[in-house]
Every structure is written in C-alpha cells, then in structure tokens.
C-alpha cells in the first residue's frame, strides 16, 4: 500500500468515528422527541397536580384519538387510574343488566321500587366509574378539555355517594316511608349543595384538593344520621339484616381511608419518583372506591333478600 493511501486512511478514521458519534446523538435526540411521556419539569403549569409523581406524564395530545391511543398503546402514570375504573364500570354494568334475573325476579313480592333502588345505585356506580376513567383518559388532551372532564369526574363521585344512599335508606326504613322520603330528600339536597361547591371553577385547582376532599367526606358522612337512627330504633343486629348495615359500614370505611390516602399523597410523598407508575395515592384511592361500591352492593343484596326472602315482603309489627 502506498504512503499516500495510508495517510488518507489515518485522516478518514477520526471522521468516521465523529460521524458515528454524531449519528448516535441524533438517534438519542429523536428518541427523546418521540417519547410518549414527560418528566414533571417538562409539564405546563396548569397540568401540575402532584409534585411527588416525577415521571410518566403523557404529552398533550390535542385530539381524542391521541388520548384513546394512550389508553392502550403504552404505560404511563394514568394507566392504572384509567383501567381500574374502566373495567370496574364494565363489571357494574354487568350487575345492572343481570340484577333482575339473578335477584329481583326470584321473589313475587318485589316491586318497581326494588328495581328502582337497584337501578339508581348501579347506574350511578357505572356513571361514576366511567366519568373517572374518561377524565383520566382525556386529561392529556388540552387544558380546557381537562377542566371540563375533571368537573364531570367530580359529578360522578357525588352521584355515586348520593345513589348509594337510595337502596340503603329504602331497605333500612322499608316499613317507614316517611323516613325514606325525609332522608332521601336530605341526601339529594346535600348532593346538590356539594356539586355547587366542587364544580365551581375556583375549586378545580390543585390548591383546593383538601376542600374538595372535605366536601366528599362530609357528603358521605351525612349517612351517619340515617344509620344512627336505624341502629337506635331497630338495634344493630336488626340493622345489619334489614339494611345490610355491616357492609354499608365497610363501604364507608373504604371511602374514608381512600380519601385520606389521596388527600395526603401517601405513599409517594415518602419517596418521590418511586410510585410514578404503580401504587400511587390516586391509584390506591381508585381501588378503594371500587371496593367500597362492591361492599355496598353486597349490603343491598343482603337487605333485599332479607325483606323478600325471610319476611316475604311484609312489614312485621
């Protein structure tokens, strides 16, 4: 090989290396650009909600198709929130469709009021869970869409809380229609009041999370009044049979614990960045909501079968 060729090779080697390095940098930059998720520091201010969740945020999509794609195509920090309530909604829709054949139709004493009590609770459960799943799915659309669907999410929570009271009060005061009307009217008005507060635009910001949580807890706490009335007038054992009280208490416990975990951002506040994709407080809250709704439905079934099975749909003096 001539000295001229050797010289050319020596000069070309660094150029090839530099070109490879430059290509590598371009690849890395391209990957960063097409990455589906962002870090907390890359988020627009309006979308920052939990400073202890550092990664896994979706890019703004500005389209519902992009939001839908994010639900099934890749993992992000809303994946668990979406799917936990999406599939729970499907489950409760199944309960709604099968309640009549599996339970209500078993007893000739069952009336339209029984069907209404079941329907109100199950429809509100499906509505709440779908609102929640939808909000978390489209929260990456844009600021305005996120705001609108966040309000829908709050409306769903209120609807489920209010709807849960209907079968409990109906069966708890099965033979006392005056109390049924009184307590159901009261919880309905309280639900409207709660909606006025939490749906106000000023309360939709992260700074008002404790107030929103307090309103939801207070609305759920309204149930202590008819429950206490039931226990004092009928006794705890009778209330467990006639109202499914034990399961109602379990349900309220799940709601309360879940709300407190959510409000205090536990456990991610103890280890920021470690619970970005799984086991964050909002995800735990979602699971508690599902467990609470399931517990409540068990209580409804227990009360229904008591009145129409053991008591044959009659009021015993």
The DSSP string of 99-146 is HHHHTGGG-TT--HHHHHHHHHHHHHHHHHHHHHHHHHHHTTS-HHHH
**At 37, is the secondary structure helix, strand, or coil?**
strand
Cα–Cα distance, 86 to 133 (Å, whole number):
5
Q: Helix 177-198 and helix 209-221: axis angle, to 10°?
A: 180
Q: Is 136 annotated as a binding residue?
A: yes
Terminal C-alpha separation, the chain: 115
Please choose, from the candidates 114, 160, 204, the residue with its C-alpha nearest in 3D space to the C-alpha of residue 294: 160
Under 8 Å between Cβ of 53 and 275: yes
CB atoms < 10 A from the CB of 180, how many? 19
Q: Is 83 annotated as a binding residue?
A: no
* Rg, C-alpha atoms of the chain: 27
Q: Is 306 annotated as a binding residue?
A: no
Cα–Cα distance, 285 to 288 (Å, whole number):
5
Structure tokens at 73: 């195509």
Going by the DSSP 8-state scheme, the letter that residue 39 receives in this structure is: -
Under 8 Å between Cβ of 104 and 114: yes
* Binding-site entries: 136, 282, 286
* Binding-site entries for Zn(2+): 136, 282, 286
């Amino acid at each position: 090989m001539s000295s001229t060729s050797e010289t050319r090779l020596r000069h070309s080697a660094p150029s090839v290396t530099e070109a490879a390095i430059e290509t590598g940098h371009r690849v890395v930059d391209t990957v960063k650009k097409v990455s589906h998720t962002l870090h907390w520091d890359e988020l627009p201010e309006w979308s920052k909600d939990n400073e202890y969740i550092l990664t896994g945020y979706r890019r703004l999509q500005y389209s519902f198709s992009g939001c839908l794609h994010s639900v099934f195509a890749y993992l992000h920090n809303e994946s668990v929130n979406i799917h936990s309530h999406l599939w729970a909604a499907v489950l409760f829709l199944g309960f709604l469709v099968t309640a009549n054949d599996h339970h209500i139709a078993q007893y000739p004493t069952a009336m339209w009021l029984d069907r209404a009590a079941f329907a109100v609770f199950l429809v509100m459960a499906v509505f709440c869970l779908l609102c929640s799943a939808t909000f978390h799915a489209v929260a990456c659309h844009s600021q305005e869409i996120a705001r609108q669907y966040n309000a829908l999410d709050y409306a769903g929570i209120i609807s489920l809380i209010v709807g849960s009271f209907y079968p409990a009060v109906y069966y708890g005061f099965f033979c006392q229609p005056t109390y049924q009307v009184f307590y159901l009217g009261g919880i309905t008005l309280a639900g409207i009041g709660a909606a006025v507060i939490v749906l106000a635009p000023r309360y939709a910001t992260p700074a008002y999370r404790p107030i929103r949580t307090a309103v939801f807890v207070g609305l759920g706490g309204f149930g202590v009044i008819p429950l206490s009335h039931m226990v004092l007038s009928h006794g705890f054992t009778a209330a467990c049979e006639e109202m499914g009280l034990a399961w109602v208490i379990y349900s309220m416990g799940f709601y309360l614990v879940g709300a407190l975990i959510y409000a205090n951002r536990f456990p991610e506040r103890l280890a920021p960045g470690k619970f970005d994709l799984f086991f964050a407080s909002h995800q735990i809250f979602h699971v508690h909501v599902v467990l609470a709704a399931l517990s409540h439905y068990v209580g409804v079934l227990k009360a229904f079968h008591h009145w129409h099975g053991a008591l044959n749909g009659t009021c015993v003096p």
